């Protein structure tokens, strides 16, 4: 990664997240062009950026837990060019009413919750019976939708209050469309993801991202605002010069919010340190009850049991996660995607289509939530279909 810009770039990428980094890597590899990346933050990697906590040796995911998983062979082969992955398998647990249960809801969760020893068939029949409480109705809110999917007992224990905390809204006041389905496994499989491959980058996320753009034809300017006309690679100057741009910032911000603001949710983190080797015994603990104000806690050192010898055994760091509606100056995490938001994004998408030298991508540029592998896949496709034709003109 080169900080200094020595020649005029053939392509400017706004945002050093996975979408932008993938486009940059593909552009220099396939077309040999000069690429300059700018980012308003002081680091590359977007929300997947990580760093080592000096006190514990844990790799901290600055914007919340990021776990790589995919069933896309093209993406898996691509990312393995830049990093090896650990054999980490993600498992999540939930604390409810003073007791810890495995998630997603599976046969172990069900038998523990009902103090029973149901067979898979018996557990399935029980859930179907309990979900039948609202048979013949058309749920109009999240509360009724949840009950109709998995029955009242399991829904109220593990979903209702957790979701209410996520949305800062009582479940009876949330639309049913938020929950399309609730997975219940009628076996003891508590592997969280069902993808073919998963793991964490062996040397950390930042080392992976640095390797992606380790080419003298890729230069980077951090702490640089695309909309700041006092710096040369600003929106107005680039458009006037006809330089192709890949924009991964908020799509409504690009158009100066002229149609209105798209709504997002954000996350706040409260750091807690404990003078002990291991506090939760797992990387992620959900808190399903309303009397705990945060949704979950992340204990970072437990993502990397392979690095136990490099981490402190006398202290550990935990981040408690609080969800709320985002203001304009907050980090946007999850699009709210109401019908009004979807209609507004459709209008912005029409405006974006009228920008011939700009390719919009990533979460913020397309008002969508993507897992990391989906972002990379979208970037690979966007390079072939949109970016390369711009550069080959």
Residues labelled catalytic: 181, 185, 265, 296, 321, 369, 371
SS3 285: strand
CA distance to 135, 152, 177, per residue, from 138 (Å):
8, 16, 12
Beta partners for 220?
Answer: 37
> Using CB atoms within 10 A of its CB, is residue 264 exposed (0-12), middle (13-18) or buried (19+)?
buried
Contact 297, 162 (CB under 8 A): no
3-state helix, strand, coil in the chain (%, to 5): 35, 20, 45
> Using CB atoms within 10 A of its CB, is residue 229 exposed (0-12), middle (13-18) or buried (19+)?
exposed
CA distance to 75, 108, 111, 112, per residue, from 115 (Å):
43, 10, 6, 5
Give counts: helices (H), strands (E), the chain. Answer: 14, 16
Taking the C-alpha atoms of residue 251 and residue 246, their distance in angstroms, rounded to an integer, is: 12
- Transcribe 39-74 into DSSP letters: ESSSSSSGGG-EEE-TTT--EEETTS---EEE--HH
* Nearest to 366, CA basis, from 353, 385, 383, 380: 353
Taking the C-alpha atoms of residue 226 and residue 102, their distance in angstroms, rounded to an integer, is: 45
User: What are the backbone dihedrals phi and psi of residue 10, each rounded to the nearest 5 degrees, phi first?
Assistant: -85, -20
């Amino acid at each position: 990664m080169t900080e200094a810009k020595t020649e005029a770039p053939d392509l400017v990428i706004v945002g050093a997240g996975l979408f932008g980094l993938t486009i940059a890597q593909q552009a220099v590899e396939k077309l040999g062009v000069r690429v300059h990346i700018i980012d308003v933050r002081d680091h590359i990697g977007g929300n997947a950026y990580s760093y080592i906590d000096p006190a514990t040796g844990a790799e901290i995911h600055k914007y919340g837990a990021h776990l790589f998983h995919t069933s896309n062979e093209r993406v898996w082969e691509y990312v393995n060019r830049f990093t090896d992955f650990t054999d980490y398998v993600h498992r999540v647990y939930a604390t409810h009413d003073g007791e810890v249960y495995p998630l997603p809801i599976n046969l172990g969760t069900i038998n523990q919750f009902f103090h029973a020893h149901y067979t898979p068939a018996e557990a399935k029949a029980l859930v179907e019976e309990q979900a039948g409480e609202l048979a013949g109705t058309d749920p109009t809110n999240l509360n009724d939708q949840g009950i109709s999917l998995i029955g009242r007992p399991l829904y109220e224990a593990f979903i209702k209050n957790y979701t209410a905390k996520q949305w800062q809204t009582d479940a009876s006041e949330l639309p049913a469309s938020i929950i399309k389905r609730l997975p219940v496994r009628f076996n003891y499989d508590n592997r969280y993801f069902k993808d073919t491959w998963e793991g964490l980058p062996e040397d950390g996320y930042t080392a992976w991202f640095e390797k992606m753009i380790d080419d003298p034809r890729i230069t980077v300017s951090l702490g640089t605002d695309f909309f700041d006309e006092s710096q040369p690679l600003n929106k107005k100057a680039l458009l006037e010069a006809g330089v192709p741009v890949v924009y991964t910032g908020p799509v409504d911000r690009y158009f100066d919010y002229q149609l209105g603001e798209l709504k997002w949710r954000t996350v706040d983190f409260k750091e807690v340190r404990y003078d002990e080797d291991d506090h939760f015994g797992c990387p992620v603990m959900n808190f399903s009850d309303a009397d705990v104000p945060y949704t979950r806690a992340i204990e970072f050192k437990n993502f990397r049991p392979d690095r136990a010898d490099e981490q402190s055994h006398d202290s550990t760091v935990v981040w408690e996660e609080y969800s709320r509606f985002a203001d304009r100056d907050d980090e946007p995490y999850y699009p709210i995607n109401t019908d009004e938001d979807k209609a507004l994004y459709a209008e912005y998408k029409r405006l974006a289509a009228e920008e011939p030298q700009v390719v919009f991508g990533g979460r913020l540029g397309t008002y969508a939530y993507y897992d990391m592998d989906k972002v990379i896949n979208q970037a690979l496709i966007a390079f072939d279909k949109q970016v390369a034709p711009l550069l080959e003109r």
